[in-house]
Structure formats: structure tokens, C-alpha cells
Amino acid sequence: MVQPGEIPHETDIESGLESLQAAVDGPIQAGYPYEDPVALICNEEGKLRNLPWNRALRDEAGQIYDIVAGTCFLCAAPPGEDSFAGLTDAQLEAFSRRFAALEWFIPTPEGLVVLREAAL
């Protein structure tokens, strides 16, 4: 679970659409921005509802291409299956490190400034 202004933490979410929606406080959207079979689940209306910006998504060169608004979580998305599962221990460790640094987003006339706290 990755919440704005907080370090990620492990949590159990019951299966079923209602539980997934409750975890992100609204309708869900699944994105697959990683090579690993992992889904990033967020609130589909996060930006429309002006939820707090959470973390930036970056390409291989480190350039920001999107920002997650509101709470999100990551889960395994086995290829060829229409369901989500828990992360493996290795995935949990890797994605906890990836999202460990808190980020603050400051719009300026010159563009968006992203302040990133050093990861623990």
C-alpha cells in the first residue's frame, strides 16, 4: 500500500471488487507500468477528485510520465489470468524500495518541481 506522504507498507486486501475499491477510496484503475507481472491499482478518478499527488511514475531514463493521485497499491498480475494476487517476497522488497522515497510536487510557472526525500 502506497499512500501520499507515507512510506509503503504491506497490507492484506480481500479479493473482490468492493475490497479493492475500498482500498483506494473509489473506482479502481489497473496499470501495468513494470516489466514484472505487477499491477499498480489506483483510484480511477484520483486526478478528477483532486486527490493528493502520491508518487511519480518514471520511464527507464528516469523521466516522469505520470503521477499517481491518491492511495495506490501493487499486486501480482499473473499473465493470462484475470485476477490479482499477493506479491512475492522478492517483489514486495523491490517495490517497497522503489516507493520508499516520499515525493512532493510543486507546480511552478517553469514546470513541475518534484522534491524527493532520500529513501531509507
What pLDDT, in 10s, does the model give residues 50-103? Answer: 999 999 999 999 899 999 999 999 999 987 778 899 999 999 999 999 999 999
Q: Looking at per-residue confidence, does 119 or 16 come out higher? A: 16
- The one-letter amino acid code at 117 reads E
Q: Is the pLDDT of residue 4 over 90?
A: yes
Asked if residues 6 and 102 have their Cβ atoms less than 8 Å apart, the reply is: yes
Distance CA 2, CA 84 (A): 17
pLDDT at 80: 77
Residue 23 scores a pLDDT above 90 = yes
Edge-to-edge strand list for the sheet holding 72-76? 28-31, 38-43, 72-76
CA atoms within 13 A on the CB side of 44: 8
pTM, full prediction: 0.90
Residue with cell 477510496: 25
Give the per-residue pLDDT at 83: 85
* pLDDT value for 120: 52
Q: What type of residue is 88? A: T
- Residue type at position 27: P
